[in-house]
Amino acid sequence: MKILIVDDEPTLLETVETKLRREGYTTFSADSAEEGMRIYRLVKPDLLLLDVMLPNRSGYDLCRAIRKTAATPIIFLTARASEEDRVAGLEMGADDYVVKPFSLAELSARVKSVLRRSSGDQGVEDPVDLSWLRIDPKTHEVWLTRLSPPSVGSGDARASLSLSPKEFALLHFLARNAGQVFSREALLDRVWGQDAYVSPRTVDVHVRWLREHIEDEPSLPRHIVTVRGVGYKFVA
């Protein structure tokens, strides 16, 4: 596994690289967003550890640029600890958010957790195959036949959706359990895992993204619906 670390603190870069190399990862490093993007394009890493506060351009800028074309897992490393900052990072497409100072053991656990989830190692291989939506965990592909279930006279608009690893995992879990209501805490446990250190608001962010992918009108969802006071459910 290749991991790119982008941070302008030399001591942190050296310490994190040493730890990850001892655990068998191949590491690359950069001290600016521009250098990070250059190396990212060259090596195509499996995971990006990204500082928020960087010279010239922020880590948020780099995250946005990568998310336009790729779903590479991203973990933010930052001293910003407020819930608003965490949500902002997740809304930009980050997979996790580690607050400085952090222990190397904690960082290692989060790296393993994010890589495990992004590889699809969830122990669930059953596809979901509806008339308008197909989700295949073996190939990590999602096909949307129409933006709504078929209707008389409707044309075929089959398209492949580009989802991040956790967007895929959340959609697959909800669709496999269509009709069941899950609280945010339950979804965090089942999709993110008990070793994930994220806010329940993370679920709301990912639900909003999924609605933008599969709903005719994301503000009036028909398939990923809110059950007031409880959580979310998938309506096939």
pLDDT in tens, the chain (236 residues): 899 999 999 999 999 999 999 999 999 999 999 999 999 999 999 999 999 889 888 898 999 888 887 878 999 988 877 777 777 777 777 888 888 888 998 899 889 888 877 765 444 467 888 889 999 888 888 999 854 444 444 445 568 888 888 899 899 999 988 888 888 888 887 887 755 566 778 899 999 999 999 998 999 999 999 999 889 999 98
Give domain limits for the chain. 2-118, 128-234
pLDDT of residue 69: 79
The pLDDT score that the predictor gives to residue 148 is 47
pLDDT of residue 145: 81
CATH 2.60.40.10 fits 2-118, yes or no: no
Q: Which residues contact 202 (CB under 8 A, 6 or more apart)?
A: 87, 90, 188, 192
Distance separating alpha carbons of residues 13 and 82, to the nearest angstrom: 24
User: What's the pLDDT score for residue 123?
Assistant: 46
| Pairing mode, strands 74-78 and 47-51 | parallel
How is domain 128-234 classified at the CATH fold level? Arc Repressor Mutant, subunit A (1.10.10)
pLDDT of residue 198: 67
Contacts 24+ apart (CB under 8 A), 156-159: none
